[in-house]
Amino acid sequence: MPHLEEIDLTAKARSVMVDLGFEPDFSSAIAQQLATFADVPSKAPSSEIADLRHLLWSSIDNAESRDLDQVEYAEQLNDRGIRLLVAIADVDSKVIPESAIDEHARANTTSVYTGVATFSMLPEKLSTDLTSLNQGEERLAIVTEMIVSPDGEVHFVGIKQALVHNQAKLTYEEVGDWLEHRAARPACCEKVQGLESQLSLQFEAATRLEKFRKAAGALTFSTVEPKIIKRDGKIVDLAISRHNAARDIIESFMLATNISLANFLKQKNCPFIERVVREPRRWDRIREIAAGFGVTLPEIPNPKVLSEFLATRQKADPLHYPDLSLTIVKLLGPGEYALEKAGGNEQGHFGLAVNDYTHSTAPNRRFADLVIQRLVKALLASAPSPYSEQQLGEIAEHCTERETAARKVERRMRKVIAASSLQHRIGERFDGVVTGSNEKGVYVRLLKWPAEGRLVRGERGVDVGDRIAVKLLRVDVNQGFIDFERVSG
């Protein structure tokens, strides 16, 4: 059986990318185009570009993230409302439509994160430098201004192009641990005057937004993500990365911005790409799972009732709630991109309990977000739309297909990495939860180890959401195969 160090995981990731139709490398034409970019903002403040560099902007992201798409600023108002500004990197200012860089981004449509290598949608000179809202740098951004009322309702104020200056690059762990009283305040708070109160106000705004979303019926999930532990450049273990209060801040601000921009585009009668999550494909199974907890869900899919059930379970059993979350996410089915025509053809987002939603907050990493940014900028400039309805429909369809392919890449590499970490534990017993059941087989995720594999023995009679005990039978590191046998317990 191969050892971890005998497998070039980065080469494996590149091979999987190619197998699934991605272009992992940038062309010589892109290199030539990059050579023409200067390391300065494209424009200076003007009547069209506001100067917001004086505000206390900050970002919160993963410690390893270098492609910073979003910074935030909050301000307390006299009427107890909170003025919220969310700035998104102005990627369009550097990526010219139909250029070599744009065509590469349009082909891949997304950055792909494999755990061992990141295959960026845009060249790193852009995504991690010239269009990234890095600490200490002046950058062009598209700023959405909103007012968050005491009850959490969002009042859209406007959108503008502006110059911003990120004064503090923070991580989910340091901010989340502080907000949850598990650690001292972030070190940046000692260096940046007013940052501690700024973060506290952002947390208050996010708390209001979350309460309002829950009241409206938005679903709240708690996910478990594998985190690679390296030593001397080698992967030695896997850990579990969990949700925290800092992630709530960013997610709440992101959702408020995306909903506001979708409504803005719709009010302007502008066709755009909508993010859609349709009614659950397996509502019957969701009802069965709820019934197992003594809860009766209606026969017709209802996000508000499902949200109340999930909130109750999260409070009753927070330790195992991520497992229930994963099960419901699987049963809801994936989201997709769809054309929202001029005049509106509401398709809705079941999980968020809203009629109109888009993706706009990650233009460095998702092509759909870059398209939305171009539509917004055209409206701000009173210019014609850069895309026809037919083009938007084609882009939406392609983005959905590539997103599915990206999930396959990431899932396959997670399996390869997990198989590597488990190859010396053949025969051991684990507790798991069934995450998939279809004609291809039954799949199980381990509860205390971030790995998922196929149940090859004892699979009869189990379904998504069932908790079972399994024994590890075999692994194939190169293929990422992990085989389990169901055991009693």
> What pTM value is reported for the model?
0.88
More confident residue, 41 or 56: 56
Domain with CATH 2.40.50.140 in the chain: 425-487
Write out pLDDT tens, residues 163-194.
999 999 999 999 999 999 999 999 999 999 99
The per-residue pLDDT for range 83-127, each reduced to its tens digit, is: 999 999 999 999 999 999 999 999 999 999 998 899 999 999 999
Angle formed by the axes of helices 100-108 and 389-422, to 10°?
60
Q: How far is CA 118 from CA 124, 225, 267, 415, 417, in A?
A: 10, 16, 37, 16, 15
Q: Which amino acid is at 321?
A: Y
pLDDT score, position 320: 73
What does the block give as tokens for 173? 């762990």
- Computed on alpha carbons and rounded to an integer, the radius of gyration of the chain in Å comes to 23
Q: Which structure tokens are listed for 442?
A: 């039954």
The mean pLDDT value for 300-315 works out to 90
Could you tell me which of 261, 297, 295, 260 has the C-alpha nearest to residue 279? Answer: 297
Question: What's the rounded Cα separation, in Å, for the pair 451 and 462?
Answer: 19
pLDDT value of position 4? 41
Can you read off the two tokens belonging to residue 11?
């080469």
pLDDT, mean of residues 53-75? 95
Q: Which of 429, 465, 463, 476 lies closest to 449, judged by CA?
A: 429
- Tokens 């209802």 locate to 302
pLDDT at 1 over 90: no
Superfamily of domain 425-487: Nucleic acid-binding proteins (2.40.50.140)
Q: How far apart are CA 362 and CA 275, in angstroms?
A: 13
Average pLDDT over residues 336-348: 81
Is residue 457 scored above 70 in pLDDT?
yes
User: Long-range CB contacts (< 8 A, 24+ apart) of 28-36?
Assistant: 29/100, 30/100, 30/101, 30/104, 30/123, 32/100, 33/99, 33/100, 33/101, 34/101, 34/123, 34/125, 34/126
Q: pLDDT category, 137, cuts 50, 70, 90?
A: very high
pLDDT (0 to 100) of residue 8: 86
242 against 330, higher pLDDT = 330
User: Can you state the angle between helices 367-380 and 389-422, rounded to 10 degrees?
Assistant: 150
pLDDT band at 218, cuts 50/70/90?
confident
Instruction: Report the pLDDT value the prediction gives residue 74, as an integer from 0 to 100.
Output: 98
Max Cα distance, the chain (Å): 71
pLDDT at 355: 82
Dihedral through CA 384, CA 390, CA 395, CA 396, nearest 10? 110
Asked whether residue 318 carries a pLDDT value surpassing 70, the answer given is: yes
- The least confident of 3-17, 244-258, 464-478 is 3-17
